Amino acid sequence: KQHTLAVIKPDAMNQHGETILEEIRGSGFSVTQLKEMVLSREMAEEFYKEHREKPFFSQLVEFMCRGPCMMLVLTKENAVEEWRATMGPSDPDQAKTISPNSLRARFASDILQNSVHGSSNQQHAEEKIRFIFGDICAE
Ligand code: ATP
Ligand code: MG
């Protein structure tokens, strides 16, 4: 089975955290690791380093540090792709049209505050899991 890193972002933690967790479990993912944490600016910059050159990078870092995040390792057959599908597209307007049951269609406020993160490929998944949790998911 495959692992992916999921994050419940600060915008969703107060209002929708529990619902999202229930949804995750109900969709057949095993929650292999879970921890709540407030990212430092440095951690958020490292976490999203692939986006360093994007015009929205500083907004993104600030948003991710704004409050607690829930960090999760999800395990399932084809977990990376399945979790991306469960989240829906980054932009909630697009999500509402093409994937109305997705988490972002239901919970995201806008393209920045879009409630959840998921690794975009297996290599990122391994790298980000190691960054957040250390070497626990080695195999
Ligand atoms: P994530 O990496 O968080 O799972 P994603 O892969 O759907 O989201 P990316 O393109 O990797 O989207 O962007 C990372 C995050 O940066 C988005 O989830 C969102 O929070 C923010 N973001 C993306 N595009 C924009 C934008 N145009 N304006 C503001 N914020 C944005
Ligand atoms: Mg991404």
Name the token pair of 126. Answer: 């391994």
Alpha-carbon Rg for the chain in angstroms: 14
How confident is the model at residue 83, as a pLDDT? 98
Q: What separation in Å is there between the alpha carbon of 70 and the centre of ligand 1?
A: 17
If you take atom 5 of ligand 1, which residue's CA is the nearest one? 90
CA dihedral 110, 130, 86, 111 (to 10 degrees): 10
16 catalytic? Reply is: no
Distinct helix (H) and strand (E) counts, the chain: 7, 4
Q: What separation in Å is there between the alpha carbon of 136 and the centre of ligand 2?
A: 23
Beta strand pairing call for 69-76 and 30-37: antiparallel
Domains of the chain: 2-132 (3.30.70.141)
Ligand 1 atom closest to the Cα of residue 118 is 4
* Residue of 3, 51, 117, 124 marked active site: 117
Q: What is the ipTM of this complex?
A: 0.98
Summarize pLDDT for 37-72 with one digit per residue, the tens.
Answer: 999 999 999 999 999 999 999 999 999 999 999 999
